[in-house]
């Protein structure tokens, strides 16, 4: 599903590469944690998958896409195959919960009838029934992240990238959010979650990819956070 082969990323402004000769694969349907200290290359990996940056060398595949060879006109199709969730939620503050999710469908030209059917379904799926007409600033952090997840999965992406999705949440809410991600994963979406949350990684026992200094230093099938 996702494959990196000898990927090196050297930012022009930087003296050392952000990713060094990185090779690994993530299979369809996996749930993988991406751990490692700040600056180890996790966000760079996400940016390369989204083709927001180009690797200096090496090859990247995602689903049917040979990402580093992709033509500019095919980049929107790649990005539609990837849902993204962030630590800071990134909701549209002037839109309601339902409008935030609907917007993700409007921008790709889905008909209004589809939007009216799908938005309530996905809001129920993430546990936001009854909150359709709330504004983001009326929600708790956990609810905001549920909206962000609903928006990210409503187009049924191949992959969901979650960049520290529990970084702003208390431990109990974090567990609830990871439960939602786990359910999304169990319905077939590959999930990659960058995190510093050792409790979550230890509780889930899923794939652990540990980056350090742009290199893969650990790749465990049912890993723990480790001693680091």
Residues lying near ligand ADP in the complex (CB under 6 A) are found at 11, 13-14, 18, 36, 38-44, 118, 121-122, 125, 153-154, 156, 184, 187, 189
Closer by beta carbon to ligand ADP, 73 or else 126: 126
Q: Write down the number of H helices and E strands in the chain.
A: 7, 10
Contact of 197 with 174, CB cutoff 8 Å: yes
Closer by beta carbon to ligand ADP, 76 or else 188: 188
Closer by beta carbon to ligand ADP, 153 or else 178: 153
H/E element, 145: helix 141-153
Phi first, then psi, for residue 148 (nearest 5°) are -60, -40
Contacts of 93 (CB under 8 A, 6+ apart): 135, 136, 137
Terminal-to-terminal C-alpha distance of the chain = 29
Closer by beta carbon to ligand ADP, 88 or else 138: 88
Closer by beta carbon to ligand ADP, 18 or else 147: 18
Burial of 42 (0-12, 13-18, 19+ CB in 10 A): buried
Closer by beta carbon to ligand ADP, 27 or else 138: 27
Q: How far is the CB of 126 from ligand ADP (least distance, A)?
A: 8
Q: How far is the CB of 10 from ligand ADP (least distance, A)?
A: 9
Q: How far is the CB of 36 from ligand ADP (least distance, A)?
A: 6
d(CA 51, CA 67): 7
User: How many C-beta atoms lie closer than 10 Å to residue 116's C-beta?
Assistant: 12
Burial of 46 (0-12, 13-18, 19+ CB in 10 A): buried
Q: How far is the CB of 137 from ligand ADP (least distance, A)?
A: 25
Q: How far is the CB of 167 from ligand ADP (least distance, A)?
A: 12
User: How many C-beta atoms lie closer than 10 Å to residue 191's C-beta?
Assistant: 26
Q: How far is the CB of 40 from ligand ADP (least distance, A)?
A: 4
């Amino acid at each position: 599903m996702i494959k990196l082969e000898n990927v090196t990323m050297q930012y022009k402004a930087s003296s050392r590469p952000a990713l060094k000769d990185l090779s690994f694969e993530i299979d369809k349907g996996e749930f993988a944690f991406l751990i490692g200290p700040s600056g180890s290359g996790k966000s760079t990996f996400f940016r390369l998958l989204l083709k927001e940056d180009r690797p200096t060398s090496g090859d990247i595949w995602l689903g049917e896409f040979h990402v580093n060879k992709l033509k500019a006109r095919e980049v929107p199709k790649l990005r539609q195959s990837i849902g993204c969730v962030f630590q800071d939620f990134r909701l549209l503050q002037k839109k309601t919960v339902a409008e935030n999710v609907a917007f993700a469908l409007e921008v790709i030209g889905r008909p209004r009838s589809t939007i009216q059917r799908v938005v309530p379904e996905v809001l129920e799926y993430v546990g936001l029934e009854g909150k359709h007409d709330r504004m983001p600033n009326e929600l708790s952090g956990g609810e905001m992240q549920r909206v962000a997840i609903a928006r990210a999965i409503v187009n049924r992406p191949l992959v969901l990238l979650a960049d520290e999705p529990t970084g702003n949440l208390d431990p109990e809410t974090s567990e609830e959010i990871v439960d939602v991600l786990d359910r999304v994963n169990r319905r077939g979406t590959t999930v990659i979650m960058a995190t510093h949350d050792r409790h979550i990684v230890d509780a889930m026992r899923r794939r652990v990819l540990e980056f350090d200094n742009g290199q893969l230093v650990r790749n465990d099938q049912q890993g723990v956070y480790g001693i680091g």
